[in-house]
Amino acid sequence: MQALLASQNARAWATTVAGAASWLGVCSAVGKLGLLPPRLARKLTHIGTGPLYMLCWPLYAAHPASRWLCASVPALAGLRFAAVGAGLLRDDALVASSSRSGWREELLQGPLWYAVAHVAATLLFWRHSPAGVLALSLLCGGDGLAEVVGAGLAGTSSGGGSGASRSAGAAGGKGSSTGHRGRRGRLPHNPDKSVAGSLACWLGGAAAALPLLAHFRAAGMFDGMGAAGAGLPAGSALLAGVLLCSAVGAAVESLPLGEADNVVVTAATALAAHAWFGF
């Protein structure tokens, strides 16, 4: 029996690693071939890595050690970010694909926190709560899409946190028409981010989480969990919960958090999901 569990987990871990490496390879090729601008190729990595990682969760055996084995994949990625960012290793390709500025030190901020959030969500929630799925969906599909949409509509890329959507003309003078145009659609509590970016965060996170949760529910992942063992709700009840928790995550993402948003958005969404679904 132990040998069977070990074999299943070995295959699952190999699939997780291969899936992550393949996705990173595709995103890197897209950037090198010029199919997308470097900024969008980098965000493609941000958006797709988490959902693909979570799709591997059901492959692991029902054993307490499984979550730790699975979490070792983003943990190893985080260690690499830390080593390259600190100058202990040299990986110019990683710096180019994972940083906005091209400076290796940037890997110690957003990218490292991104890996930490994946490790934490896996170890804390795993397959026993929808909170982990929702948290990572907001981090990837929501926070990642926010910058793409917000910066695209504004005509300039973000210079702040990973989900920031800076508006055009932000650096312009108060009296210029460009400056006035740049202020339209910006959030009153955080002028560095836009209404469009926050809406993209909300809907992008929900769009990533809903099919994953529906698939996991159909696979029996959450059976027996929650109040009276009812498990995860279906239909409109599931949709309402996903939209509400995604809205909480989007609201937190709209705050001026800087590089800390990768962790704070994940934590806020997880807490909202745990409170709403009850497990």
What is the SS3 assignment for 219? coil
What's the rounded Cα separation, in Å, for the pair 198 and 147?
A: 9
For 88, the token pair is 């202990």
Q: What is the mean pLDDT of the chain?
A: 85
**pTM score of the predicted model:** 0.85
Whether the per-residue pLDDT at 174 is higher than 70: the answer is: no
Predicted local confidence at residue 172, as pLDDT: 37
Q: Which helix (H) or strand (E) holds 104?
A: none
Predicted local confidence at residue 161, as pLDDT: 42
For 172, the token pair is 């312009």
Banded model confidence at residue 180, pLDDT cuts 50, 70, 90:
very low
Whether the per-residue pLDDT at 170 is higher than 60: the answer is: no
**Amino acid at residue number 87:** G
Whether the per-residue pLDDT at 152 is higher than 60: the answer is: yes
Whether the per-residue pLDDT at 105 is higher than 60: the answer is: yes
Bridge partners of 190?
A: 187
Whether the per-residue pLDDT at 3 is higher than 90: the answer is: no
Residues with Cβ < 8 Å from 232, sequence gap 6 or more? 130, 213, 216, 217, 222, 225, 226, 238, 277
**Phi, psi of 194, rounded to the nearest 5 degrees:** -115, 160
Banded model confidence at residue 228, pLDDT cuts 50, 70, 90:
low
Predicted local confidence at residue 156, as pLDDT: 47
Residues in the chain: 279
